[in-house]
């Protein structure tokens, strides 16, 4: 199936998750395009979509929200899966748990795309990518810097999507 994987990313962490999902779907036999939301010219020919976004201060990036709107209008009920990348730090940490909540836009995006699922993946925080005030805040939020991405979880989520696509195709 022709699958579009698109994710909004400020610093590349979420884009790399999208690439990995794309690679996994490809290795499962799908015809995959991975593109940033701004690069998606048309959804014509797209038979399934995986749409993701980095989460900043509880929100999806606007470019991902806009692509969800387009998907609702143009995908004509074809299957969509959503993911967010965000929580950083030890999973049991107080701030990390507070981060690991659904982004504010999720109810709207779910309604628009009729997505079959939404998954939150841990993200990555690199102090050199932050501006002054954010870098200062890192001093407060100790232990949040680093790469917390779980590639096994990302690949197995993508395999689950392949399995669902396979069973839809055979019906």
Ligand X SMILES: Cc1cc2nc3c(=O)[nH]c(=O)nc-3n(C[C@H](O)[C@H](O)[C@H](O)COP(=O)(O)O)c2cc1C
Residue 5 lies near ligand X (rule: CB under 6 A): no
Residue 86 lies near ligand X (rule: CB under 6 A): yes
Cβ burial 35-46 (10 Å sphere, 16+ → b, else e) = bbbeebeebeeb
Residue 64 lies near ligand X (rule: CB under 6 A): no
> Quick one: which of 1, 13, 3 has its CA closest to 53?
13
Q: Is-contact 68 113, C-beta < 8 A?
A: yes
In whole angstroms, the minimum distance from the beta carbon of 42 to ligand X comes to 24
- The string of DSSP letters for 48-112 reads EEEEEEEEETTEE-HHHHHHHHHHHHHSTT--EEEEEE---S-TTSHHHHHHSS--TTHHHHHHH
Q: Is-contact 50 83, C-beta < 8 A?
A: yes
Among residues 5, 65, 88, 158, the one that binds ligand X under rule CB under 6 A: 88
Residue 99 lies near ligand X (rule: CB under 6 A): yes
Sign of CA dihedral 32, 38, 44, 50: positive
In whole angstroms, the minimum distance from the beta carbon of 9 to ligand X comes to 3
Among residues 58, 143, 160, 166, the one that binds ligand X under rule CB under 6 A: 58
Residue 9 lies near ligand X (rule: CB under 6 A): yes
In whole angstroms, the minimum distance from the beta carbon of 125 to ligand X comes to 4
Query: Residue 4, exposed/middle/buried by CB under 10 A (0-12, 13-18, 19+)?
Result: buried
**Stretch binding ligand X (CB under 6 A), from 11-19, 42-50, 75-83, 162-170:** 11-19
| Cβ distance to ligand X smaller for residue 31 or 39 | 39
**Stretch binding ligand X (CB under 6 A), from 22-30, 34-42, 52-60, 109-117:** 52-60
In whole angstroms, the minimum distance from the beta carbon of 7 to ligand X comes to 7
Residue 123 lies near ligand X (rule: CB under 6 A): yes
> Quick one: which of 56, 54, 20, 21 has its CA closest to 37?
54
Report the interface residues with ligand X, using CB under 6 A.
9-15, 54-58, 85-88, 99, 123-125, 130, 134
């Amino acid at each position: 199936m022709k699958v579009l994987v698109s994710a909004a990313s400020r610093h590349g962490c979420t884009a790399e998750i999208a690439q990995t999902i794309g690679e996994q779907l490809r290795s499962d036999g799908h015809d995959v395009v991975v593109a940033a939301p701004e690069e998606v010219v048309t959804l014509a020919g797209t038979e399934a979509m995986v749409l993701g976004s980095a989460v900043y201060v509880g929100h999806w990036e606007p470019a991902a929200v806009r692509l969800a709107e387009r998907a609702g209008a143009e995908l004509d009920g074809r299957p969509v899966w959503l993911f967010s990348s965000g929580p950083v730090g030890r999973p049991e940490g107080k701030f990390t748990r507070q981060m690991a909540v659904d982004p504010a836009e999720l109810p709207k995006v779910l309604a628009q795309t009729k997505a079959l699922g939404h998954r939150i993946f841990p993200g990555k925080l690199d102090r050199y990518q932050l501006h002054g005030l954010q870098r200062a805040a890192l001093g407060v939020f100790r232990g949040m810097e680093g790469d917390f991405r779980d590639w096994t979880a990302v690949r197995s989520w993508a395999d689950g999507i392949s399995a669902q696509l396979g069973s839809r195709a055979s019906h």
